[in-house]
Amino acid sequence: MQTLTRPLLGVLSILALILYTLFLGVFLFIAVLFRLLLPGRLARRWANPMVVEVASIWVSGLLGWMQRVLRIRFVVNHDLDLHMNQWNLIIANHQSWIDIFALLAVTLRRLPILKFFIKKQLIWVPIAGVAWWALDYPFMSRHSREYLKKHPEKAGQDLETTRRACEKFSDQPTTIVNFLEGTRLTPEKHAQQSSPYRHLLKPKSGGIAFAIQALGEKFDTIIDTTIHYQGKAPNYWDMACGRVGTVTLNMRKLAIPPRFQHMDYSNNREDRAAFQRWVSELWQEKDAELEALEQQSAANGRVKSG
């Protein structure tokens, strides 16, 4: 595809996404209406699966466009046994919102539909906000440090939201995704944090700790995922114009140390320190893995150019 056609492809991709979303949005609102009108047990039995199916069809169509039209190639390395009757916790690094679709490309209809912790403001996104609400996505406030200094009573709000969400997820097989960095990696954020990692921001342990506390005995596995892009992490316009190329996902199974299944992260300092050390070690391994992928990508580029 010639460079001059990229902007046109980007416009066509955005228009196609809008029309496709509006079309499926009709079926989504019908499912949501059933959910609101039916009593709890019937809603769980009939309306909730309808919402999940509409969301799955939307994702499947978008992934088809990304792979066939935009030529995005997902290279997945794993030996996991994935099936729909599992409780799973996926942890991953976070560079681009395309990370979400990379994970969906691997897990769609192989694991229960992914549940993300997302910013509270996103509930107002047309159609998508309703879908996230109907899928029981936890909405997080994500207050800044400055805000929390003025309103210290809000400090534990997101962790309480995590706890309540995990209690709800205990009713049926669920896949929870946690981007431990809490936000997308950018050079500015990396410098601001003085991150000790070359390719990562500092991990936040609270969310994953509460998920393990609430569902640790139910989780069949933790799926540790490392996501790597050729070149810089793409933004939405890059994706729409077909400039993403190859996305590599390395996935491995991790066991939850028994100590952490019954820890008290909030009140026990020893538990909290031990868990943070464990997460830090995982992040050091992931940083080294990303460095190896970066070097491999650079070597492949030199071979092609030669």
Q: What is the pTM of this model?
A: 0.89
Q: What is the pLDDT of residue 139?
A: 82
CA torsion sign for 111, 112, 117, 122 is positive
SS3 content of the chain, % helix, strand, coil (to 5): 55, 15, 30
How many CB atoms are located within 10 Å of the residue 197 CB? 21
Q: Find residue 252's DSSP bridge partners.
A: 224
Strands 118-119 and 139-140: parallel
47, with CB counted inside 10 A (0-12, 13-18, 19+), is: buried
164/225 Cα distance (integer angstroms): 25
Upper half-sphere CA count for residue 200 (Cβ side, 13 Å): 27
Give the angle 196-197-200 at the CA atoms, nearest 5°.
130
Q: What is the pLDDT of residue 1?
A: 47
Each residue of 268-292: pLDDT tens digit? 999 999 999 999 999 999 999 999 9
Sequence-ordered list of residues with C-beta below 8 angstroms from that of 182, at least 6 positions apart, any chain: 94, 142, 201, 204, 207
**What share of the chain in percent tops pLDDT 70?**
91
Of 58 and 169, the structure prediction assigns the larger pLDDT to 58
User: Which amino acid, residue 157?
Assistant: Q
Each residue of 233-247: pLDDT tens digit? 999 999 999 999 999
Each residue of 67-112: pLDDT tens digit? 999 999 999 998 898 899 989 999 999 999 899 999 999 999 999 9
How many CB atoms are located within 10 Å of the residue 295 CB? 10
**DSSP code of residue 257:** P
Q: What is the pLDDT of residue 169?
A: 84
Each residue of 148-205: pLDDT tens digit? 567 666 666 666 777 777 777 888 889 999 999 988 999 999 999 999 999 999 999 9
**DSSP run (H or E) holding 154:** none
Q: Are 90 and 154 in contact (CB under 8 A)?
A: no
What are the tokens at 94? 């976070």
Report CA 294 to chain centroid distance, whole Å: 22
The mean pLDDT value of the chain amounts to 88
Give the C-alpha distances (Å, rounded to integers) separating 18 from 9, 104, 118, 206, 253: 14, 20, 21, 36, 37
Smallest CA-to-CA distance from 31 within 53, 60, 57 is with: 53
